Amino acid sequence: MATLNKIRSKSGALIAIIGFALFAFVLGDLFKSGSSILKGKQNVVGIIDGNEISYQDFNPEVQRTLEAYKKQGLNSLTQVSNIVWNNMERRVLIDEEVEKLGLNIGEDELWNLIITDQSIQNAPAFKNEAGLFDPNKVKEYLSYLRENSSNNAQAAQLWFDWINFEKTLKERGIVTSYYSLISAGISATDVDGKYDYKFTNDQVNAKYVYLPYSSVNDDEAKVSDDEISNYISNNSEEFKADASRDIQYVYFKATPSLSDEANVKEELLALMNDNVEYDRSTSRYDTIPGFVNTTNDSLFVNSKSDLNFDPMYYHKGTLTAEVETFAFDAVVGQVYGPYLEGSTYKVSKLVSIKTMPDSVKASHILISFSGAQNATPEVVRTDDEAKALADSLSKVINKKSSKFADLAKDFSNGPTASKGGDLGWFTYGRMVPEFNAFAFDNKKGNIGVVKTVFGYHVVKIEDQKNIEKAIKLATIVRNISPSDATDNELYAKGSNFVNSNKTLVSFQSDAKAKGLEARNVEGLKIMEFNIPGLGDQRELVRWAFNEDTQIGSTKLHAVEDGYVAVLLYNSNEEGLTPVDVARAKVEPIIMNEKKAKILLAKVKGTTLADIAKSSNKTVATVNSIHFANPIIPGAGREPKVVGAMFGSKQGVVSEPIEGETGVFVVEVVSSKEATELPNYATYSNKLKSQYDSRVNYQVFEGLKNSVEIVDNRSRFY
């Protein structure tokens, strides 16, 4: 009771202490998590010239774009987010300029953009019987969509897609108009053309003395870190740097052990024979047929193999030599294997033999219907109507096959209609299964109707060749992959490696001792996703930039076929390029400046001969030098020196010139100006074309540099 009273008497102080502790806890969490109080709104992906881009607006665009790019094989979320971000930068910055100017696209201009778009002009649905683009076909298509979008799901989706297509074209047209306005204000005059002509064709002949920087020992012109640092500070615009990270990684590749390989082989051997299993429902033992005795080969393969049953027939020369040696001499039901093929073990069973061609020449009339694959909106007939029409055409052609080509031109919905339905020669397996089966299972001259995903085909077999024995195999395929035990062993090796090596020296030396390669990745940026040698590893980049990841931090990261041990060994924050990074670029510049001073002290005399003698060099000559190609033989590209030649009077010895590769003293012997032209339109037009080619990029970069852009995408992607 006394204790309770004491607590009550001190309750005010106790509450204050608890309150402070809670405040400290919350405050610490704020600093650690980067709350909205300290870092702004957490759902803001970025800010472009004051326009906040929220995650709720940005991510749906990323997902839509990702779905579109997946069709092209691009699956990187980060890469797609880069594309969307760049598009949004353009949209925001260009839209602001467009709005200021009041630019827009009228209906006539939009229609012109539609009918001149390549995707529209090349669409088969918008071509006439002669195969030429017909704008009226586009109008008919749009009319159909408008009339049916309210009661037809497919038409509604197509109409929605079309509206978005028009919106994109309009936006593109407005942006093009904006750039065109700027381009129209940029010109190249006849005077500009004349200067460009002279720049390319004026010539000078000169004598010179050349004192190369390489003649001075590097030890005489050492460059300190402070000098590099000062150079960076004095040229800060050139050395702005984003935050970056340097990592090193060692790849532990997962490879199956001999034991893993043997286990796969044993598993296949076990599938060959019948298996006796106890059936609890009948309280008796049943015999389950193995691969040798099963009567349903396709079902057996599909349930036991890493690859589904292959229903194709194969002629000689299309399979591996080992398999063909077995298959073409075996009887139906005979089994071969297990045999090793690449990184798999296989067992094959001969299930069928027949004589068939390896190539067929055929023609077809495609009768499509609404809902069939690749059916255009103009096709409104039903499945039943399509079948009835195909059957009717087949009857006519079977009576008089010479009508096939004309009927194909009149009725076929396929791209070969203009050629009378001629498909030419095709090999076995090239066509969809139903079409393939008809063409190769029937004989030359046969005509029939086949239904596929594209509609009903009236098919005529024109010719066949190489009619020979073909075989069908049922093959169980088992990939030889690392077992859990092998993977666990590899994981243990990788874990031991990252736990034992926290410095670059130990990381590299231990890798070398184990016969592994330690690979460097320098200058990783915060929104990168690709790591050389590993591909898309966005998670690793995020780890490298995580505030908890410090220099010396290591991580064992799972990749598709193994693990990588990763070490963060350097970290650079946003600002100026660090001295050690800039040294490779800056050191030669400062060193050459120091060497120039040493060489300048050796230049004595008033004539080239005197200067050559005092510096222990020779007088060299150079002829037909142009501004446009400022190359001095034996020295290389020297624009400053060549410029001095064109600016010097004949016979006058120049002051020493500090060039790219050394110190020069020059004397012009003669010069020749290019012949005057009646006009310089060719050259001014060339310049205008060059200016126009750079307008889009330079305008956009100028807009970006004129506003503040905050990119927070690394928090989300």
* Domain at 508, CATH number: 3.10.50
CA dist 484 → 255, 346, 488, 596 (Å): 12, 22, 6, 66
Location of structure tokens 């990184």 = 343
Pick from 119-133, 181-195, 318-332, 673-687: least confident: 119-133
DSSP-derived 3-state class of residue 400: coil
CB atoms < 10 A from the CB of 459, how many?
28
DSSP 675: P
pLDDT band, very low/low/confident/very high, at 41 (cuts 50, 70, 90) = low
| Terminal-to-terminal C-alpha distance of the chain | 58
CA dist 119 → 108, 122, 123, 679 (Å): 19, 5, 6, 42
Residue 603 lies in a domain: yes
Do 365 and 461 share a domain, yes or no?
yes
Backbone conformation region of residue 624, classed left if phi is above 0, alpha if psi is from -120 to 50, else beta: left
pLDDT in tens, 680-705: 999 999 999 999 999 989 999 999 98
Residue 688 lies in a domain: no
19 pLDDT higher than 60:
no
Do 556 and 490 share a domain, yes or no?
yes
pLDDT band, very low/low/confident/very high, at 30 (cuts 50, 70, 90) = very low
CA dist 434 → 296, 328, 365 (Å): 21, 26, 15
Do 321 and 399 share a domain, yes or no?
no
23 pLDDT higher than 60:
no
Model-level pTM? 0.65
Do 316 and 374 share a domain, yes or no?
no
420 pLDDT higher than 60:
yes
484 pLDDT higher than 50:
yes
CA dist 618 → 615, 651, 716 (Å): 9, 18, 65
Backbone conformation region of residue 102, classed left if phi is above 0, alpha if psi is from -120 to 50, else beta: left
3 pLDDT higher than 50:
no
Mean pLDDT of the chain: 89
CA dist 374 → 71, 106, 123, 132, 370 (Å): 16, 33, 12, 20, 10
Do 275 and 348 share a domain, yes or no?
yes
Do 211 and 277 share a domain, yes or no?
no
Do 549 and 565 share a domain, yes or no?
yes
Final residue of a structural domain among 305, 338, 355: 355
Bridging pattern class, strands 284-288 and 619-625:
unpaired
Task: Classify each residue of 295-323 as buried b or exposed e, where b means 16 or more C-beta atoms within 10 Å of its C-beta.
Answer: eebeebbeebbeeebeeebbbeebbeeeb
Residue 20: phi and psi, rounded to 5, are -65, -40
> Which tokens hold the place of 253?
């590749």
Final residue of a structural domain among 532, 548, 573: 573
pLDDT band, very low/low/confident/very high, at 384 (cuts 50, 70, 90) = very high
What percent of the chain stands above pLDDT 90?
73
Do 381 and 460 share a domain, yes or no?
yes
What would the mean pLDDT of 394-409 be, rounded to a whole number?
Answer: 93
Final residue of a structural domain among 523, 556, 573: 573
27 pLDDT higher than 80:
no
pLDDT in tens, 296-320: 999 999 999 999 999 999 999 999 9
What would the mean pLDDT of 630-648 be, rounded to a whole number?
Answer: 95
Residue 191 lies in a domain: no
pLDDT in tens, 578-603: 898 899 999 999 999 999 999 999 99
Residue 563 lies in a domain: yes
DSSP H or E stretch at residue 353: strand 344-356
More confident residue, 44 or 37: 44
pLDDT in tens, 458-482: 999 999 999 999 999 999 999 999 9
CA dist 4 → 1, 9, 11, 13 (Å): 5, 9, 10, 15
Do 172 and 115 share a domain, yes or no?
yes
- How far is it, in rounded angstroms, from Cα 442 to Cα 446? 7
CATH code of 368's domain: 3.10.50.40
Q: What is the pLDDT of residue 119?
A: 87
Total domains in the chain come to 7
Do 500 and 517 share a domain, yes or no?
yes
Q: What is the pLDDT of residue 377?
A: 78
Residue 442 lies in a domain: yes
- Domain of 95 in residue numbering reads as 46-99
Residue 326 lies in a domain: yes
45 pLDDT higher than 90:
yes
2 pLDDT higher than 50:
no
21 pLDDT higher than 60:
no
Do 417 and 364 share a domain, yes or no?
yes
674, 202 Cβ separation under 8 angstroms = yes
> Which tokens hold the place of 100?
């200021």
125 pLDDT higher than 90:
no
577 pLDDT higher than 80:
yes
Q: What is the pLDDT of residue 10?
A: 39
DSSP H or E stretch at residue 213: none
List CB contacts of 23: < 8 A, sequence separation 6 or more.
none
Q: What is the pLDDT of residue 393?
A: 94
- How far is it, in rounded angstroms, from Cα 564 to Cα 717? 21
CA dist 19 → 22, 23, 26, 227 (Å): 5, 6, 11, 53
Residue 702 lies in a domain: no
Residue 374 lies in a domain: yes
CA 240 to mean position of chain CA atoms: 27
Cβ-based burial of 61 (10 A; exposed 0-12, middle 13-18, buried ≥19): middle
Q: What is the pLDDT of residue 36?
A: 38
Do 410 and 316 share a domain, yes or no?
no
Q: What is the pLDDT of residue 371?
A: 86
